[in-house]
Amino acid sequence: MKFAHKLFFSVIALLTVIFLLFGTFMLSSYFDRMLERETEQGKRENLLFQTIYDMVYQNMEKYGAEFAGIQAGNSATERMTGQSGTECMILETDGTITLEGSLKLPQDEIRRLAEEMLRTMDPGADQVYGVRKVGTCYYLLSIITDQATDSADTVYLGILKDLSGIYEERSSMMRQYGIALACLLVIGGLAAFLLSRYLTRPIEQLNRTAGRIAGGDFEKRAVYQGTDEIGELSRSFNRMTDRLVRQMEEKELEAKQKEDFTVAFAHELKTPLTSIIGYADMLNSYELTEQERGEATYYIFSQGKRLESLSHKLLELVGMDRQELEFKKLQTKELEENIRDTMRIPFGRKRIRGKIDLERGVIWGDRDLLLSLLYNLLDNAVKAVEEGGFILMKGSRRTQGYEIKVVDNGRGIPQEEIARITEAFYMVDKSRSRKEGGAGIGMALCQKIITLHQGELKIDSKLGEGTVMRLYFPGEIHAVKNKSNRGAKGGI
């Protein structure tokens, strides 16, 4: 059953219970008040009947009238039966009953009701009353004991009132309330239907959106943005969807990186292995001069060194995922001296105007890894600039950390390539990189080292103008046990 249907039937059931309880209470209270009023009226009439009977009896007795009791009874009943729906009776202990009134009940039936009522009278009580049903009619019977006469016999004076009108009125009111209840339920049902549709529409929209997303439409989002719980649910749903989409994109990128890595790795192995196999076959199969033999052995040696360098870099890249590093406080001026000494020869080969200026400060990190990072960045800059180019490494203290930027006026990097240059084996200009001895692992190492130091790398470049690489290192950090995923960006 749909939630809207559950809400609709729940509201209808609740309204029905409320209206039934309210109507039952109101009708019952009204009926009880009317019945109590008629009962009290009957009891008062019964007392009045007794008073009239006693007064007439005493007057008759004073004047010595014969049959004073009979005359008193006749006189009293004549005065009390002026109103319709009332029957007066005098019941003597010998069973004699005198009736006067407008009710047409058989005398035996009235005697039976009176005797039944008297049996319920408590000892010592002088009055008893109650409502009795005869056929389809209801009657109030009130009986009072009269002992005002000199006779030893007890006389019972009674009033019998027809209460059928009250019960008929109650039945009529119940029928009218039933009709009113049906109308109220129809109106309430319509209101409940509209309310359930209004309240569940955002949920239905959210459900349809979830179905569209499950079907592959990852651009779909929940549109309801109210301030209630459903609005918060929609926003949480959108945040969850955005996160899932990002994770899927990251997984797809990771899978593509792994595929690219496998292809690139196979290609990097194929070229030197082909050269080694070819020259080895030449040495084995042909008679070569000393010069040709020397050239062949040189090519085999150079390609073997290239494979060795490639394996070292791969081991270094993989090993970073497993080692625990202890970071220390490193003085930037010491790093500057080491870098300047190392880069003097590479700068000199291409007559590069190089400047290395690290403001005095502190970087927390691993010395060897930081030097490897800075060497790689400068080496890439050397490969990027033409002969006589310009390279600047500038370091500056920041409020919470240290920043180093490497600037060159080389060939630059296309904007669409910037996001991928930290992937293993990815090279912007593959032919030139291989010619210069590169394998596309240097920037992957740089990214891994920066990640281990909890730093950040930003690259700005314009094709034909040059590149700016900014490194930011945070404040004090001590130890890092790297457990990053092997497929993370820059990893294997």
- Pick the closest to residue 443 from 491, 487, 400 (CA basis): 491
DSSP H/E element including 330: strand 328-331
SS3 391: strand
Residues spanned by the domain of 165: 3-172
CA distances to 86, 118, 155, 414 from 103, in Å: 6, 21, 22, 115
Contact status, residue 250 vs residue 258, Cβ threshold 8 Å: no
Residue 179 lies in a domain: no
Residue 105 lies in a domain: yes
Task: State whether 371 and 303 are in the same domain.
Answer: no
Task: State whether 398 and 477 are in the same domain.
Answer: yes
Task: State whether 270 and 361 are in the same domain.
Answer: no
CB-based burial of residue 27 (10 Å sphere; 0-12 exposed, 13-18 middle, 19+ buried)? middle
Residue 476 lies in a domain: yes
Contacts of 31 by beta carbon, 8 Å cutoff, 6+ apart: 166, 170
Give dist(CA 433, CA 381) in Å, integer.
12
Helices 290-319, 229-285: inter-axial angle, 10-degree rounding: 160
Task: State whether 13 and 130 are in the same domain.
Answer: yes
Q: What is the pLDDT of residue 489?
A: 40
Q: What is the pLDDT of residue 179?
A: 92
Q: How far is CA 395 from the centre of its chain?
A: 49
Task: State whether 329 and 301 are in the same domain.
Answer: no
Task: CATH number of the domain at 79, please.
Answer: 3.30.450
Task: State whether 298 and 334 are in the same domain.
Answer: no
Residue 192 lies in a domain: no
Task: State whether 297 and 281 are in the same domain.
Answer: yes
Task: State whether 251 and 311 are in the same domain.
Answer: yes
Domain boundary among 172, 196, 211: 172
Which tokens go with 132? 């009795």
Q: What is the pLDDT of residue 38?
A: 87
Residue 229 lies in a domain: no
Task: State whether 27 and 140 are in the same domain.
Answer: yes
Residue 279 lies in a domain: yes
Domain boundary among 116, 146, 172: 172
Residue 195 lies in a domain: no
Q: What is the pLDDT of residue 90?
A: 79
Q: What is the pLDDT of residue 490?
A: 38
Domain boundary among 115, 148, 172: 172
Residue 96 lies in a domain: yes
Q: What is the pLDDT of residue 8?
A: 81
Task: State whether 295 and 387 are in the same domain.
Answer: no
Task: State whether 121 and 58 are in the same domain.
Answer: yes
- Please give the chain's pLDDT, 492 residues, in tens: 677 778 888 888 888 898 889 888 999 999 899 988 988 888 888 888 778 777 767 766 655 544 445 554 555 555 555 555 677 777 777 666 766 666 677 777 888 888 888 888 887 778 888 888 888 888 888 888 876 555 556 778 888 888 888 888 888 999 998 899 899 889 988 988 888 888 888 888 888 888 888 888 888 888 877 787 888 888 888 889 889 888 988 888 888 877 766 766 676 677 678 778 888 888 888 888 888 888 888 888 877 877 777 677 667 666 665 566 678 899 999 999 988 888 888 898 899 999 999 999 999 988 888 888 898 899 889 988 999 999 999 999 988 889 999 999 998 888 888 877 777 666 555 444 444 444 456 787 788 888 888 899 999 998 888 999 999 998 776 555 444 443 334 333
Q: What is the pLDDT of residue 300?
A: 86
CB-based burial of residue 209 (10 Å sphere; 0-12 exposed, 13-18 middle, 19+ buried)? buried
What's the number of domains the chain is made of? 3
Task: State whether 280 and 388 are in the same domain.
Answer: no
Q: What is the pLDDT of residue 144?
A: 85
Instruction: Please provide residue 18's backbone torsions phi and psi, each rounded to the nearest 5 degrees.
Output: -65, -50
